[in-house]
A and B are shown apart, each in its own frame.
Chain A
Amino acid sequence: MGFPHASHCKQKKIYHQTVLSYCFYRIVFVPGRAKSLIGWLLTLLAAASGAGAAPYVPKDDTVVLETLPTRPGDPAAAELRRMRAASADAPADADAASRLARRYFEMAMAEGDPRYVGYAEAALRAWPESPSTSAEILNLHGMLRQYRHDFGRAMADFDLALKADPANSEARAWRAAILMVQADYGAARRECELLAQHSTELHATACLAYVEATTGGARAAYQRLAAALARRSDVDPGFHAWVQTRLAEMAWRSGDNAGAERHFRAGLALGTDNFLLAAFADFLLERGRPAEARALLQDWSRSDTLLLRLALAAQALKRPEAEGYARALGARFADAALRGEKLHLQEEARYLLELKGDARAALAAAAENFRTQREPRDALVLIEAALAARDPAPAAPAMQWLESSGFEGARIRQAAARLKALKP
């Protein structure tokens, strides 16, 4: 039983009573009332899925309720405490505040935990954006904004940062990355070219290769990036892992599966992160190797993006825990909806499509997602949802994107061909 999307009200699916009665309420009752009913429904969903079930009193004092991501005694935690104290002691010190905000932002990225983004925002509270703000603080504001998918204002922040410091390669790279998310490849390429003036060859090549690989030149981009990497010996391990992941994706895209796997494994040897694990798991799932995907992600169920892949792997293996994973994911999406935020739409669409089997709801979520986010994965879920729902119209923007970008992925190309062949 999926939560009906508003778009369901337009379609007459007579047997689906949950949808009907929901639509009935939307039409008959005042919005305030309807809102409370949605809240109710979501609460019930969350309750039904075991979240927030009932408060209890633990049986004795030694019961562990929560495991923290860091121990207060860790050197990193101690350093963070020092930075917090330094910023609190000198509230007028912009450098102390921006150092703290950057540290929190990096922690949010490494652990995928949005709480740290909130802490970073709090650290910057006394320094709102203005033309006199330093490039560093403007960049941080932009990074926090894009995290909330406020791309318009993030771009403006990076613009201001570049006005304050025209050689600021970080602002340049973020602009290119956001333009890639928005599928504005011409503009992204220009940012990469400008990046080349103030950055290393490897960074500029990585930037350009990323654009090229998304616009039909995966093979050539792969060769260029691999060559640029081979010329450098002192690459930061984090960046090196990122390059390996991108090389893997480029190889995969141009049909070189063995090469892709080699690069994924080279990346894993440098360290694990959310992004690399998600991409490798997608590769394994698509290659029909769910057992390896499951082994890879076994300990990563805290992360929503990885829990989704773990659930898909368990489902493919027909393992009993698949249902529990799906329920946990559903509860997290329901909780996010209670906040009124839609930052997970791509994952939610995939969850609705592949775990819940609700193609209509998946299509609605994927179409909404594609309005703001246009990366290959966003297009893929939209086209696949449209195919499952046998309704090509909402996927038209993704089909146009596929045509104009020249993107090469075999899976999306096949799905698009089948969608085109559908009789309207």
Chain B
Amino acid sequence: MRPKFLVLLAFLYAAGAQAHKPSDSYLAIGVEGAAVRGQWDIALRDLEFAIGLDANGDGAITWGELRARRSDIEAYAFSRLKISSDGKACTTAGTALMVDNHSDGAYAALRFGADCGTRPPASLEVAYSLFFDLDPTHRGLLRFERGGGAQTGVLSPERPRLAFKAGEESALSQFFDYLREGVWHIWIGFDHILFLLSLLLPAVLILKNRTWNPAERFRDTFWDVFRVVTSFTVAHSITLSLAALSVISLPSRLVESTIALSVLLAALNNLWPVVAERRWAVAFAFGLIHGFGFASVLTDLGLPQGALLLALVGFNLGVEAGQLAIVAAFLPLAYALRGSWFYRRVVFIWGSAAIALVAAVWLAERSLDVKLWP
């Protein structure tokens, strides 16, 4: 038997894009002290194919039908997952059955615990064989969490075992990781530096009769800088924390454009002063939006669930430290030069103009999504 339409199949489907997602399970395993716990999300469609869930045959799987098969599902799944610690097999048992949704439908979420003895494991090995007999294209997407970090791996028939070191990464080293990341970020984040500089440039000057004159006392300059830097810091710490904890999120194009706008306005304010005494308020208002910019970095790095606060504080302190370094380098120099023609004309006026120009280009690029310079 060779139906006529066999030949057409080739032309119809050669290299056709897959219309759906293939079969995956999501296996998360976490270690805390001696306790090994996890959650295993297995697609209902796969379970239906393997052991049958649709008891009444109506083509729909209900929570009741799933719940009724809990012990069968756990027996089937956990006989295909071997967790061992330091070469010794752990006993794995389900603790709860829930439901989780992924991009391609509903999954049974099996919560489980693995008994690996009373000592914290130094290494964990996962041997996985779920569905490989039924569907060799099935993959187990493993996420291994310990202390603060996470590692991922893909389990396949070709590579059904993965091993991880389970020793805790010290909280301190993690804290320093994020601290360093914060410092680095303020250094490469030119827009944040330029915003701060635009607000600091006039700190060594005093606005009198609409012209800028050198400040008379260092104390005044110092407190002016202190107010600006502190309010900027407080503001961006607030939004950074809120965004990093997913309380608020804003579209990145809006955030990036507003940051460019803040730099532009701060620089223009030096050329045509509108706000002088209350620059700290400007720093606070725009600091809020800069916080969202910092948060996008933190989102990319990923916040360790176990040490969320520590990482957030570390990153924030890193940003502050980087900021302080800039201020410490800027302030004495600017104060020494404040009376000179060079500072007041070249640095202050032309510097502000240059910053305004750069910021204007950024604003155009980011808001219109075009590239104006290489």
Chain B interface size range: 35 or more
Query: B362 an interface residue at 8 Å Cβ cutoff?
Result: yes
Distance to closest chain B CB from A24 (angstroms): 7
Bound-state CA distance A146–B67 (Å) is 39
- Our pick among B4, B59, B67 for the contact of A70 (Cβ within 8 Å) is B59
* Interchain nearest-CB distance for B138 vs A (Å): 6
B299 surroundings in chain A (CB, below 8 A): 1, 18, 41, 44, 48
Interchain nearest-CB distance for A48 vs B (Å): 7
Instruction: Pick 5 A–B contacts, CB within 8 A, sort by A.
Output: A62-B63, A66-B44, A114-B137, A339-B22, A340-B154
Q: Is B14 in contact with A181, judged by CB distance below 8 angstroms?
A: yes
Judged by a CB distance under 8 angstroms, whether B48 is at the interface is yes
Say yes or no: is A269 at the interface (Cβ < 8 Å to chain B).
no
Residues of A within 8 Å of B45, CB to CB, are 66, 68, 115
Chain A residues with CB below 8 A from B369, complex form:
357
Task: Give bound CA distance, A247 to B347, whole Å.
Answer: 69
CB-nearest residue of chain B to A171:
B10
Q: Mark B332-374, 1 if CB is under 8 A from A, else 0.
A: 0000000000000000000000000000001001100101000
With A52-B102, A118-B135, A339-B154 as contacts: A174 and B14 at CB distance below 8 Å: yes
* Distance between A354 CB and nearest chain B CB, rounded to angstroms: 13
CB distance from A241 to the nearest CB of B (A): 9
Q: B4 contacts A122, CB within 8 Å?
A: no
> Are the CB atoms of B59 and A40 closer together than 8 Å?
no
- Contact present for B296 and A64 (CB under 8 Å): no
In the complex, which residue of chain A has the Cβ closest to the Cβ of B142?
Answer: A39
Known: A109-B16, A122-B136, A170-B7. A68 touches B60 (CB 8 A): yes
Cα(A52)–Cα(B162), bound, Å = 23
**Is the Cβ of B185 less than 8 Å from the Cβ of A21?**
yes
Contact of A68 with B296 at beta-carbon distance under 8 Å, contacts A37-B301, A115-B23, A336-B21 already known: no
Quote the shortest CB–CB distance from B55 to chain A (angstroms).
10
- Supposing A44-B302, A114-B18 touch, asked if A17 and B185 sit within 8 A by C-beta, the answer is yes
| The 4 residue pairs across chains A and B that have the minimum distance between CB atoms | A112-B19, A61-B64, A39-B152, A40-B302
Flag if B152 contacts A338 (CB, 8 Å). Answer: yes
Most buried by A among B7, B41, B58, B149: B7
Kindly provide the distance from the CB of B286 to the nearest chain A CB, expressed in whole angstroms.
Answer: 16
Chain A residues with CB under 8 Å of B184's CB are: 21, 24
Flag whether B172 is at the interface (Cβ < 8 A). Answer: no
Contact partners of B191 in chain A: CB under 8 A? 15
**What's the nearest-Cβ distance from chain A to residue B100, in Å?**
4
> Quick one: which of A13, A57, A117, A239 contacts B8, CB cutoff 8 A?
A239
B99, CB-defined interface residue at 8 Å: yes
Q: Would A122 and B135 count as touching, CB distance under 8 A?
A: yes
| B 168-198 binary contact with A (CB < 8 Å = 1; else 0) | 0000000000000100110011110000000
* Residues in B whose Cβ lies below 8 Å from that of A53: 100-101
Q: Which residues of A contact B60 (CB under 8 A)?
A: 64, 66-68
- Interface hits, A262-318 → B, CB 8 Å: 273-275, 302-306
Q: How far is the CA of A114 from the CA of B63 in the complex (A)?
A: 26
- A332 and B103 contact, Cβ closer than 8 Å, known pairs A21-B185, A112-B18, A343-B18: yes
Q: Say how far B338's CB is from chain A's closest CB, in angstroms.
A: 30
B143 on interface, CB distance cutoff 8 Å: yes
Instruction: Give Cα distance in the complex from A123 to B17, angstroms.
Output: 23
Restricting to A1-17, which residues have a CB under 8 Å from any CB of B? Answer: 1, 13-17
Q: Which residues of B contact A (CB under 8 A)?
A: 2-24, 26, 39, 41, 44-46, 48-49, 52, 54, 57-64, 66-67, 98-106, 109, 111, 133-139, 141, 143, 149-152, 154, 181, 184-185, 188-191, 246, 249, 252, 256, 260, 293, 296-297, 299-302, 362, 365-366, 369, 371
Q: A72 at the A/B interface (Cβ < 8 Å)?
A: yes
A336 to B19, CA, bound (A): 12
Q: Given the known inter-chain contacts A68-B45, A122-B136, A176-B10, please indicate yes or no for A73 contacting B23, CB distance below 8 A.
A: no
Minimum CB distance partner of B191 in chain A:
A15
What residues of chain A lie closer than 8 Å to B5, measured between beta carbons?
A: 236, 238-239
Q: Among B11, B139, B371, which residue has its beta carbon within 8 angstroms of that of A173? A: B11
B15–A146 touching, CB < 8 Å? yes
Known: A51-B102, A55-B111, A347-B17. 20 other contacts (CB 8 A): A17-B296, A41-B302, A46-B103, A55-B98, A58-B99, A64-B61, A65-B61, A65-B106, A67-B60, A72-B57, A115-B23, A118-B136, A119-B49, A143-B9, A177-B14, A178-B15, A195-B7, A236-B3, A303-B19, A339-B24
| A199-207, A379-387, A404-412 - interface stretch | A199-207
- Determine which residue in B20, B136, B188 has the highest number of CB atoms from chain A within 10 A of its CB, and name it: B20
Determine the chain B residues whose CB is within 8 A of the CB of A64 once the complex forms: 60-62
Instruction: Select from chain B the residue with minimum beta-carbon distance to A303.
Output: B19
Hey, which chain B residues are within 8 Å of A328, CB to CB? 103
Beta-carbon contacts of A325-339 to B below 8 Å, as 1s and 0s? 000100110111011
